[in-house]
Structure 1
């Protein structure tokens, strides 16, 4: 099934709606201070793994399962310079209309962003922050599928910049409509 991950069909869902208020002021910036981004913490908010046909699903499958993966990014401000960024990964393996396994992970990090220009804040929160926590979430998904009796599901890197651009384009289209 490790090879199945490479052949799997992947569907990346656009990032979910994120409420980042327009800050009045300059995000705590001081003249001439260098921009900085710090990870204050990261954690699992929710994790589930389902193996509904066990133990039959562990005996071997005919053909490779189709693996569908969806990705969402949400963010919310906690303070003037602190943001919680959530990365939601959902993976489902199907074989002949039967669920082989399903896993869902909601992984989050708290970031402190200081001296960031206001026009760069939104893309940093929705592109750079999830990019920094993705490797940890990827490892959790690999471990939980392996511990569930399957080969580890190794997710390919995600282009968070492309997801962000799709989201901005969709919001612009909705605003025009």
Structure 2
């Protein structure tokens, strides 16, 4: 006899599913504090630093809002050439993921889906600011999540 429950359909376990309901720019800032001097040709390239942060909150039983924050700063000789800050969000429907795997699933897979779009917005912002397109390297969201878990464990101790 086969039992049909919330995790099965006709005795077949339901596969985890992730659907993008919406994605959007929540906040975008481009600063070029030394313009137009910052646009002149230079002998060397600026040092680029990139910071990434992921946040999430449950909106309903199966819907999660995930924010991907990317901060970019280009500096040359201790002066900011340009700075970009982007807060890019998405609304996701997550189903059939076991509770113990839900948090890492949301914090890794959702920003992984958002990243290519956020990367393009950063590249477009740098071009529209008068600079070459800034193409951010792919981000290891698993490593980022592991760092987050380590910080949380240290705070508990």
- Return the TM-score normalized by structure 1: 0.81
Higher strand share: 2
1:89 is aligned, of 70, 74, 88, to 70
What is the root-mean-square deviation in Å for CA atoms of aligned residues?
A: 1.0
Match in the other structure for 1:56: 37
For 1:137-152, list aligned pairs within 5 A: 137-152=118-133
Larger radius of gyration: 2
1:132 is aligned, of 105, 110, 113, to 113
Instruction: Compute the displacement of 1:77 (Å).
Output: 0.7
Match in the other structure for 2:3: none
Instruction: Compute the displacement of 1:62 (Å).
Output: 3.5
Q: Which runs of 5+ in 1 are unaligned?
A: 1-28
Q: Which runs of 5+ in 2 are unaligned?
A: 1-5
Instruction: Compute the displacement of 1:33 (Å).
Output: 2.1
Task: Identify which of structures 1 and 2 has the higher relative contact order when contacts are C-alpha pairs closer than 8 Å and 6+ apart.
Answer: 1
Instruction: Compute the displacement of 1:174 (Å).
Output: 2.0
Aligned length: 148
